[in-house]
Amino acid sequence: MGPLGILSTLEQLPAVYSPALSHDGTKLAYYADFTGRMELYVADVRSNSAPVQITSGELPDVVEAPLRWMPDGAGILIVKRLGASPESSAWCIDLRTREMRQVAEEMPAGTPGRVSPEGRFLIWNAALEVYIADIESGELCRIGQGMAFMQASDWSRIGGGVYVTASDSEPLRNRDVYYVQLDGCRATAMQKVYSSGPETMDLSGRVSHDGRWLAITTRRSDRTWAVLADLVTGSTTTVTGGTLDAFPLTFSRDGSRMLVLEESPVTVRLAEIALATRRRRVIATGKGVVYDADYTADNDVVYVASDPRHAPRVMLHDSAGHAASALVDPTRDVPGAFPTVATRKARFTSENLCIEGLLHAPAERAGDRRPAVVLLHGGPSARDRLEWNALVQLIVGSGFTVLQVNYRGSAGYGDAFEHLNVRDVGGGDARDVAAAARWLQDMPGIDGTRLICVGGSYGGYLVYRQLTRYSDLWAAGIAWMGITDWTSLYYETTDAVRLYCRALFGGGPSELPQMYMEASPIHDVARLTAPILMIHGKNDPRVPVTQARRFRDRLLELGRHNVCYVELDEGHGLTARAARIRMYKKIAEFLHSLL
């Protein structure tokens, strides 16, 4: 199938968001746009019967926050954004009558947490602030003023308070777990529950159904562990070991077992730990990425996973039969197929570093020398993993080999690797991308004269960097939401990204003007001669559209006619399906023009 076929398949591929089991583990709720609109669905997990559509057009088109079950299973809390404002309102849908009742309004930008066991209060996690909303009166109380509260994770089953992650130091490097006692939605007292030491990350998680255990994620000595706090005795124990980073998720209903995610740099798998013996069992979820999991009423496991060939699916793992079946599979009813992407890990050397990537190849044709795309993630501390990527499908389906590169600065390879880009923005990381291009040039079956550099956000920045500083390597480039000028970005972006820039550069542009200038492709724009497709969101608060407009204007002043420029009615992420498809179409057309 060519790019047009893949585009139409992508256009029809339903999106499924925020699957969540009811508190008693019998029902699965999720958002999906099977009908072309985003609606809420509920399915019975035991019978695996057809899901019931609960809403009919009442939801916003773009889901901005996960849904939450009311503890009695009679209702579901959903969040709506108020127009263009960052504020939200929370609504409860009665599953029997389908009535929607507003339960809280004018909540600051944030994410809903769990509803309290008796169904009266809702945790609301905003940036560095935690609120408790009274669902009956609509009152909203901020808890923990004077400290940076990162998030509240769950409710005590015994004391009526919440467990939170908080930081008592700047710049938030040390995080500990606290218990906050509540009277209604107001905090009355607070005590530290767990700290593994100074400058460590201890993050509060779920409470077991019987209220005895609290799951804690601890990051220290470059590793992530699952810790179990006994809320009755106050003791804590580390329950994971081995070589993989482990993230505790949730407890079985009888409190005897716990699910953990085990991460390698490019995969995430699911394991179960017997709490009494600490015996660990890996649940066969396939080679890909598991995002979330929970126990059903029958102690089977529902999990969400994807791999390069399958978009995220909700799967049911039958613990007795050790077999998995799909509860929700967006690809199941989509006519046509995606190209069979043969994916393998790739490793190459850049200076003294071993850089890992993922190589996706189209079907081979004898005597064929294929063009290739180097596809770059953002962050910069994100990473590419063995998971579903619609763009990879599109580009491979267009006849290109794709190499994703976890350049220095990517997460998953240890703290030292992740910080190698500090005070070296566009330095070593850009050399890693150039090394990736040279590695591809030496590969049999690749046409080294037709390499295209593609990426978004920080990945878009690296595209601009490559086309200006390593122009001999590239036949073309595609950048979306990319940074072209770090100095103006610093003054025009959000507070959070400004802080991030300070950490990345080691200060602001007034202290380090040369470093900010050196890192900015706008000052090298004259070196760019290859065809380029620039895409940017008009409403991007993180990397404002002026970054793209100024760069395009300079290219046009220089008489470059091979600039294709597109603005989307979007922010930093591509949340609306229509915008995503429009971007994919532009990319497919551009790539086709290079063949």
Ligand X SMILES: CSCC[C@H](NC=O)C(=O)N[C@@H](C)C(=O)O
The binding site for ligand X (CB under 6 A) comprises: 378-379, 457-458, 497, 500-501, 542-543
- Residue 490 CB, shortest distance to ligand X, in Å, is 10
* 255 vs 573, beta carbon nearer ligand X: 573
- Residue 587 CB, shortest distance to ligand X, in Å, is 18
* 522 vs 543, beta carbon nearer ligand X: 543
- Residue 497 CB, shortest distance to ligand X, in Å, is 5
- Residue 236 CB, shortest distance to ligand X, in Å, is 30
- Residue 486 CB, shortest distance to ligand X, in Å, is 8
d(CA 332, CA 62): 23
SS3 494: coil
Q: How far is CA 300 from CA 91, 257, 589, in A?
A: 30, 12, 46
- Residue 479 CB, shortest distance to ligand X, in Å, is 12
Contacts of 415 (CB under 8 A, 6+ apart): 222
Q: What residue type is 57 in one-letter code?
A: G
* 17 vs 500, beta carbon nearer ligand X: 500
Token readout for 90 is 């929370």
Contacts of 247 (CB under 8 A, 6+ apart): 217, 224, 226, 260, 261, 262, 263
* 109 vs 526, beta carbon nearer ligand X: 109
* 34 vs 500, beta carbon nearer ligand X: 500
- The single-letter DSSP state of residue 231 is T
d(CA 204, CA 165): 5
- Residue 442 CB, shortest distance to ligand X, in Å, is 29
- Residue 484 CB, shortest distance to ligand X, in Å, is 12
* 339 vs 378, beta carbon nearer ligand X: 378
Question: In sequence order, what E strands does 22-98 have?
Answer: 27-32, 39-44, 52-53, 68-69, 75-81, 88-94
Pairing of strands 245-251, 236-238: unpaired
d(CA 357, CA 52): 41
- Residue 111 CB, shortest distance to ligand X, in Å, is 15
Q: Work out the angle between the directed axes of helices 577-594 and 3-12 (0-180°, nearest 10).
A: 170
Q: Cα angle at 205 between 168 and 143, to 5 degrees?
A: 45
* 25 vs 455, beta carbon nearer ligand X: 455
d(CA 420, CA 408): 6
DSSP 296-343: -TTS-EEEEEEETTEEEEEEEEETTTTEEEEEE-TTTT-SS-----EE
* 55 vs 546, beta carbon nearer ligand X: 546
* 318 vs 415, beta carbon nearer ligand X: 415
Pairing of strands 100-107, 110-115: unpaired
d(CA 291, CA 306): 8
* 348 vs 458, beta carbon nearer ligand X: 458
Contacts of 390 (CB under 8 A, 6+ apart): 10, 13, 311, 580, 584
- Residue 379 CB, shortest distance to ligand X, in Å, is 5
